Amino acid sequence: MVKEEKEIANRPDNTAFTQQRLPAWQPMLSAGIVIPGFVLIGLAFIGIGVALFVTSRSITVLEIDYTGIEKDSACFKCSNADVKNCVCNLVFSIDSLFEGPVFFYYGLSNYFQNYRKYAASRDDEQLSGDLDAFTAPSDSCSPYDYNSNDQPIVPCGAIANSMFNDTFVLYRVVNGANKLVPLDGKGIAWWTDYNVKFRNPSVTPLKNAFNNTVKPIFWPKPAYQLDASDPANNGFINQDFLVWMRRAALPDFRKLYRRITDGEYAKGLPAGNYSLTIAYNYPVESFDGRKKVVFSNVSWMGGKNEFLGIAYLVVGSLCVLMSIVMLIVYAKFKFPEED
Amino acid sequence: MEGFESGLTWEVRANDRKHHKQMKSFLCFRWGRYADNLVRSYKYSPLTFLPLTLFEQFQRAAYLYFLLMVVMQSVPDISSVPFYITIFPLLIVLSVRGLKDLANDMARRRSDSEINSRPCDVLDSQSFNRAQWKDVCVGDVLRIHKDQVIPADLLVLCSSEPHSLCYVETADIDGECNLKFRQALSATHNQLTSHPSEETLAAFDGVVLCEEPNNRLYTFRGQMHWRGESLLLDNEHILLRGTVLRNTDFAYGLTIYTGADSKVLRNCGKLRVKRTRMERVFNQVVIGIVLSVLLAALLLAIGAGVFSSWVMSHIGPTSALVINGNPVYTGFLIFWSYIILLSPAMPIALYISFEVIHMVHSLFIGWDMEMYWQQANRPAQARNTSLNEELGQVGYLLSDKTGTLTQNRLLFRQCCIAGEVYGDASSKAEDTEPMDLSWNPFSCGGLFMSAPSLVQKLRGQQCPISCQFLRALSVCHTVMAIWKEEAPVYQAASPDEEALVGAARELGWVFLSRTRDFIVVSELGVTREYRLLALLDFTSHRRRMSVLVREPEGGLKLYCKGADLVILERLQKDCLHQERTERALELFSQACLRTLCVAVRSVPEASWEQWSKTLDQSATMVTSDRDALLEKLYDQMEIDLQLIGVTAIEDRLQEGVHETIALLQQAGIKVWVLTGDKKETAVNIGYSCKLLDPDTRLLEWQELKQILQSPDPGVTFFKARQTELWAVDKQAAEAKTALVLTGPELAEFDQKPEWGATFMRLAEQCQSVLCCRVTPGQKADIVSLVRKHTRSITMSIGDGANDVNMIKTAHVGVGLAGVEGGQAVQNADFALSQFRFLQRLLLVHGRWSYRRISFFLRYFLFKTCSFALVHIWFGFFNGFSAQSLYETWFIALYSLFYTAFPIMCLAFFEQDVNAESSLKWPELYRSGQRQELSSPLILISSLLYAVYSSLVFFFIPFGVFHNTAYDFQTMAVTVAMAATFTANAEISLVTRYWTRWNVAAVCVSVVLFFICSRVTQSTRLFKASPMDYFFLGASERAFIDPLVWLTALLTTWTAVLPSMTALAINVILNMHDKHKVHSASSQPVELRSRLTRGASLRRSSYALSQGAGPGRLISSGTCIRSTVLTVNEQVTADNNSTDSQLQINMKNNIDAPNHT
């Protein structure tokens, strides 16, 4: 008995796995499945494409360039970098009701927020409120870590330093008088950024935390004075700062500035004339950039995006087209004698 | 000295260790002229392991590349991706491989030390001491016992046998199982055996001068200077390492060559690392990828330089970041950053996965029940785990004969006596009903013939001709009988004779013993002595042998057996039964049996007396034409024969050999046979295993040489084939030709290297090539020839030590473990127990492996390149700053978690058709031979596909996110999502065999992407290390954004669209191909012309390993000791000894293949 056991000791296990007989589904594809499959998928894509396209069409977008390169532009006078504290007025009109909620963006182009060195030029420790990093910013911030007097810059780094600092005030022109349109700047940043990623040091008043540090070279005001109207909206958790710190993917981008949701404007901007007062601070001429303001409402798919709808339509039609080609090929092969 | 002039420069002094142990040494390295007897096949020592293994591993360019990546990634200025992304996988790979090599080396070390510590007796001043093989030194005198393996190449000094003969079995060297004899010089024999041996041997002080160590197994040239005499030495005096001493109690030998100098080890060939062709092609593609990456990085770096100079010309927030303000320097740094960023295009995971897959495929081979041989309890084994896919591409199978195609068992299956056929060969040998032979006390089984009628006839003594037939079998041979446990054990130089004598024993005619003059036979219990008057020996030219005996009754009888053609032309006129016997011969040859005709002649007393006088005269002649004279004389005696019958012997093929060969030939594999055996035997086996068809024309050397020498070999060959066939068989439209070559003829190729290419071109058109009497070295040369002149994968299969070299030389070497595990297995890449398992190994495992690995490589190239090349396109929109488009963790996990499982499952489980169908349609195998799935073109097309996909990955999200409020991280997550989806969609398109593991793997991969993304972008990890997990919250928002999903979906679909289309078109067009496969499987029945089976196709063979039979030794009485010699006889024997010595020398001159 023992001998017998030994004799088959090396015998391989007879299992489905070892014998490579695992039960398996072997899809038997045929032209009868493939061609209708292509048609169906193509049609589905066309369907999605149409839906996206229609949705996108229903979104209203008002985009105004205010860089001021052109001489007839309202902000032409400000485009010269030597002019300080320049303010320009942009007047525009809306023909019909601009349905709300209206989102107010500023847009920059040819601006490489995704440049690797630029992107790395920040100190996450510092931005999460670590006081040690206030006195000794990380090397990654270089050359925006210390000023010429060797004082640490807070917030350090290129991203923070280059923060967009144009400000906008929107008026509705009613009977020749400017009526302020209230802009809502709350909750325009990501929840995680506001609550986790960026923290102010737990020092009150906030100003004390910034002792022995200097503001970024480019900034007119230190971080703890970013929003004079709301003391809570200062320091690293200032909404505009957070929006800016969330880098754009591509050189042409928009960033949310404000939402128009209050009172009489909750339903949107009524038809009429508007005046936008711009505190023109941010120089873009040096890098051939453009600045613009964008008013837009949103749908379930976000802002206006015609590309996606068209792309779906194109790919969907391509599939249908291909299925027709396949059908022809199939017919030729199936009935070769007719050839 | 004269020795130096004739090339005999190897000097061996007996019993002089000091002389041979002179060593030069430097530091710890020592070398001397004479190697020691240690076998070292291991590579590492504890000290050298680490440097050597690292050196070996970093010879793979890929590893160096990864090392470079690690170094670069740890330079902060250029590090676009943290270093830990590469270093951990690299360390894992290095250590896994290193450990694997170490384990292999340990195994080699163990087997080495097992060999090195085998015992042997070494003479150490006056007495023999037990020592180990490794202690044997050139010049030592050794004592070898019966059945001991000989530890080094020895010169026989003397042995326990008369005339210092000794028998060796050379199965491990040339694959032949019969015994060969070696003999000491008469000088040493006379001087050293006459006294107590230890002392005389210790005093022996001969000096041997011989050739330098070489690999020629069948020749040896040397001289011995001893006591003022100079004696010539040749191969007949040498015992080779690895042979086994048989039937000789002990032999004494002087060590000539040891260890690495010995002829066997010289024949072994070098241990070479085998790489598969696919790996080579793939490595080329990898080099191509690396070069493209370098080029891309260079262009991007130039872009970066231009961009930075543009940025510097303006004042902006980023301008301060352009380092040192020097665009060239910036470009330089960016170049390296891009190399790092693009390096995942060739990930290290590929190399790990490649190994794992190979290993699993090897395990599958070992697990296959169908390749498990119950009798030996041995499953198949993949010893080299990196060659699996080559099994699916084999174009040439070079097979050994003995032990591989045949079992080396000869069975007496049928006979024809007086025109009556007995036995039935149509059934298998095992299925024959055993006859009741209990009446025969000497019967010990082994007769696979069922012929009760014959037994009845014999026992009833009714049929004198049957009795005569068996008498002929029991008398006419050169077999010796050794008595063991009251039964004779036969020792024969030819396995055929052993089978015949054995069959006669079973049927009651028992050959008991022979002395010089008598042959004792027990005929149905009655012991009869036949006086042996003359033994007319076998030569390859005569193809027959006869004995002339005086019967106890007084009559003179000549019994003769030989090839049918030679016997039939020597018969009496109007011989009885001739016609029926010839029909039987045809019948036997159709059953692929080896036939011998047996005939008898009653010799008149007068003619005998006259003949014997002439014989005595010519036997004493010492001229070179003595052999011719003798042959003529023999011819005179072998006339007027009376045909008694025909024997039919089956050279047992291994099970399923001809089915396997037929299948492999259908699969487009060329099967060649390389054997050390005789031409006749090889050709016979060629026919019986259906390698050659009955109407195949054999092209032999003479013709081949003419063709090779002709100015236009192809045309000449074609003509030769055509015309000949036209004459023989007008209907044979398709010419079937096979080449038959022998070793000495092959040696001519060395001088004419230009013949090689021509020969291979001819061989490609031939059905097969048979190479006979080739040395192990030549076997390897043939393999190299095939390797050199074709692009096919070669596979060698063999079972003995003589096949080791060819097994090592071929792309894939298979060792047959047979009944006992042998040397071949040790050196083989795959070990099988049976030849027939080859069909499963090649057509099932090989084909699957090839497909799986091809798909694996293509898919891997696609998934890694498509995901990494995105950075090139992104570079144009981020100022060429080497910004990664992915989260660092995505790069790290992509090839590990998100895409690895499905492809591994595919590489483990994929089957296009199941095993049964693979064997049913061997034509499917041809796609592997043509490299249809792994050609460089295919790999390049998958690269192009990857480039296309990377464009899609970038530009569709680009179109969507361009000029929107979406941030970088959301886009990164979207692209990552699309890349993961695409990789998994693509594998779903490739997979044809969905086991539940495949389904699970795809699902798990996709789910893991979502889970891991959420985890690496979670608050907790961010708080632990903000620098490493800075994508906080990105996926949380992205995964609920419909736009992200829609974008990823569109990107995925667009990316796999070409693959999808190709698949669809394939499906549509393939209906046609499938139809083809089905129609191909039902091949038309082959038309075989029965008419061509003429007499010329009869195959009669008398297999002897050496040219001439040992009859002379028998007739001179040198090797007989079963009876005590009388004093008188001893004297005559001694007198004869010089004679026999001479004969042997002469014989060697004929036999020894000339290796000049």
Write down the ipTM of this complex.
0.95
The tens digit of pLDDT for each residue in A148-162 reads 888 999 899 889 988
Are the beta carbons of A112 and B318 separated by less than 8 Å? yes
| B996 touches A at CB < 8 Å | yes
A45 pLDDT exceeds 80?
Answer: yes
pLDDT mean over B91-119: 85
H/E stretch holding B651: strand B642-653
HSE, side-chain direction, 13 A CA sphere, residue B230: 7
Indicate if the pLDDT at residue B20 is higher than 70. Answer: yes
CB contact under 8 Å between A326 and B1065, yes or no, is yes
What is the pLDDT at residue B1084? 37
Strands (E), A203-286: 253-260, 268-269, 272-280
The pLDDT score that the predictor gives to residue B729 is 41
Among the partner-chain residues B311, B964, B995, the one whose CB lies closest to the CB of A254 is B964
Residue A337 has pLDDT above 90, yes or no: no
Per-residue pLDDT band at B367 (split at 50, 70, 90): very high
pLDDT of residue B1111: 58
- A282-302: string of b/e by CB count within 10 Å (b at 16+)? bbbbebebbbbbbbbbeeebb
CA distance B950 to B872: 9
| B212-233 average pLDDT score | 84
Confidence of residue B663 (pLDDT cuts 50, 70, 90): very high
Give contacts of B 930-959 with A, CB under 8 A.
Answer: 956, 958-959
| Residue bearing the bigger pLDDT, B282 or A35 | A35
Interface test with A, best of B77, B314, B321, B971 (most A CBs within 10 A): B321
Structure tokens at B154: 């020895």
Q: Please, which pLDDT band fits residue B1141 given cuts at 50, 70 and 90?
A: very low
Q: B879 CB near a chain A CB, below 8 Å?
A: yes
Write out chain A residues lying below 8 Å of B1061, CB-based. Answer: 322
Q: What is the pLDDT of residues B1022-1046, one digit of tens each?
A: 888 888 888 898 999 999 999 999 9
Partners of B561 in the beta sheet?
Answer: B545, B598
Q: Is B1023 at the interface with chain A, CB within 8 A?
A: yes
* Tokens of residue A138, six digits: 């990380």
Q: Cβ atoms within 10 A of the Cβ of B195, count?
A: 11
A263: left (phi over 0), alpha (psi -120 to 50) or beta: left
Instruction: Identify the burial level of B309 via C-beta atoms within 10 angstroms of its C-beta, where 0-12 means exposed, 13-18 middle and 19 or more buried.
Output: middle
Cis ω before A155 (30° cut-off from 0)? yes
Question: According to the model, what pLDDT value does residue B734 have?
Answer: 46
Closest Cβ–Cβ partner in B323, B378, B963 for A254: B963
Written as six digits, the tokens of B554 are: 């007084």
Q: Which two tokens stand for residue B827?
A: 């050196």
Q: Inter-chain contact B909–A22, Cβ cutoff 8 Å?
A: yes
Task: Give the distance from residue B551's alpha carbon to the nearest chain A alpha carbon, in angstroms.
Answer: 53
Amino acid B1093: pLDDT:
35
CA torsion sign for B1008, B1013, B1016, B1017 is negative
User: What φ, ψ does residue B446 adopt, rounded to 5°?
Assistant: 95, 10
Instruction: Please report, for residues A111, A168, A290, B542, B967, the alpha-carbon distance to residue A254 in angstroms, rounded to integers and kept in the order given.
Output: 11, 15, 11, 103, 9
What stretches of chain A show up as alpha helix (H) in DSSP? Answer: 2-7, 31-58, 116-120, 124-127, 131-135, 158-161, 191-192, 206-209, 239-245, 306-334
Query: Which pLDDT value is given to residue B124?
Result: 80
Q: Do A315 and B80 touch (CB under 8 A)?
A: no
Q: What is the mean pLDDT of residues A284-305?
A: 87
Tell whether the model's pLDDT for residue A96 goes beyond 60: yes
CB contact under 8 A, B1033 and A193: yes
CA distance B267 to chain A (A): 33
> In whole angstroms, what is the distance from residue A107 CA to residue A110 CA?
10
Confidence check: pLDDT of B851 > 50: yes
Q: How does pLDDT run across B808-829, given as a tens digit for each residue?
A: 889 999 998 865 546 778 788 8
Q: What is the pLDDT of residue A37?
A: 92
Least confident stretch, A38-42, B572-576, B656-660 = B572-576
Q: What is the pLDDT of residue B161?
A: 77
Mean pLDDT, residues B802-811 taken together:
86
Tell me if A124 and B1068 make a contact (CB, 8 A cut-off). no
Catalytic annotation on B101?
Answer: no
CA distance B67 to chain A (A): 24
Please check whether residue A190 is in contact with residue A242, taking contact to mean a CB–CB distance below 8 angstroms. yes
pLDDT at B725 over 70: no
Show residues of chain B in contact with A301, CB under 8 Å: 1042-1043, 1046
Q: Give B1053-1079 pLDDT, tens digit per residue.
A: 999 999 999 998 888 887 655 544 444
Average pLDDT over residues B269-281: 73
Q: What share of chain A is helix, strand, coil (3-state, %, to 5)?
A: 35, 20, 45
The residue-averaged pLDDT of A162-183 equals 91
Residues B177 and B408 sit within 8 Å (Cβ to Cβ): yes
B965 near A CB under 8 A:
yes
Q: What is the pLDDT of residues B586-630, one digit of tens each?
A: 888 777 788 889 999 999 988 888 898 888 887 666 556 777 888
Residue B1145 pLDDT greater than 70, yes or no: no
Shortest CA gap A206–chain B (Å): 22
Percentage of residues in chain B having pLDDT higher than 70: 85
Nearest to B544 by CA among B453, B483, B631: B631
Does B4 have pLDDT greater than 50?
no
Is the CB of A13 less than 8 angstroms away from the CB of B366?
A: no
Q: How much is the pLDDT for B998?
A: 95
Quote the pTM value.
Answer: 0.81
Q: What was the pLDDT predicted at B1095?
A: 36
For B1050, which of A107, A315, A329 is closest by C-beta distance?
Answer: A315
Kindly state the helix (H) or strand (E) to which residue B566 belongs, with its residue range.
helix B564-568
More confident: B852 or B187: B852
Where do we find the tokens 């089978």? B499
pLDDT given for residue B67 in this prediction: 87
Report the amino acid identity of residue B501: V
For residue B656, which amino acid is it? G
Interface test with A, best of B880, B883, B913 (most A CBs within 10 A): B883
| Inter-chain CB proximity A116 and B80 less than 8 Å | yes
Contact criterion met (CB < 8 Å) for A249 and B966 = yes
* Cβ-nearest to A196 among B878, B1032, B1067: B1032
Chain A touched by B280 (CB under 8 Å): no
DSSP code at position B48: T
The pLDDT confidence band at residue B401, using thresholds 50, 70 and 90, is confident
Structure confidence by residue, pLDDT tens digits, A106-150 = 999 988 888 888 888 889 889 988 888 899 898 888 888 898 888
Distance linking the first and last C-alpha atoms of chain B: 23
Contact yes or no for A196 and B1033 at CB 8 A: yes
Find chain A residues with C-beta within 8 A of B1068's C-beta.
Answer: 31, 34-35, 326, 329-330, 333
Per-residue confidence (pLDDT) for residue B700, from 0 to 100: 84
296-325 in chain B: CB under 8 A from chain A: 311, 314-318, 320-323
Which residues in chain A are contacts of B992 at CB distance < 8 A? 26-27
Tens-place pLDDT, residues B953-1007? 999 999 999 999 999 999 999 999 999 999 999 999 999 899 999 999 999 999 9
Q: What is the pLDDT of residues B466-478, one digit of tens each?
A: 889 999 999 998 8
Do the chains contact at B968 and A114, CB–CB below 8 Å? yes
Q: How many angstroms separate the CA of residue B790 from the nearest CA in chain A?
A: 34
For A173-182, B580-589, B904-913, which range has the lowest pLDDT when averaged over its residues? B580-589
- Most confidently predicted of B31-45, B176-190, B405-419: B405-419
Task: Give the residue-averaged pLDDT of B799-804.
Answer: 79
Distance CA B163, CA A319 (A): 92
B236 close to B1145: Cβ distance less than 8 angstroms: yes
Residues B689-694 have a mean pLDDT of 84
Q: Please, which residues 47-86 of chain B have a Cβ atom closer than 8 Å to chain A?
A: 80
Q: Is the pLDDT of residue B876 over 90?
A: yes
DSSP letter at A152? B
Q: Which one from B121, B400, B537, B695 is the annotated catalytic residue?
A: B400
Closest-CA distance of chain B to residue A259, Å:
13
Which residue of chain A has the CA closest to B908? Answer: A20
Question: Do B992 and A251 lie within an 8 Å CB cutoff?
Answer: no
Chain A: closest CA distance from residue B854 (Å) = 19
pLDDT band at residue B841 using 50, 70 and 90 as cut-offs = very high
Arithmetic mean of pLDDT over chain A: 88
What value does the CA radius of gyration of chain B take, rounded to a whole number of Å? 37
Residue A192: which of B317, B959, B1032 has the nearest Cβ? B1032
Our CA-based measurement puts residue A263 at a distance from the nearest CA of chain B, in whole angstroms, of 25
Q: Tell me which DSSP letter residue B874 carries.
A: H
The predicted pLDDT at position B449 comes to 84
pLDDT band at A53 (very low <50, low <70, confident <90, very high): very high
Identify all chain A residues contacting B878, using CB atoms and an 8 Å cutoff: 112, 114-116, 251
Q: Is the pLDDT of residue A4 over 60?
A: no
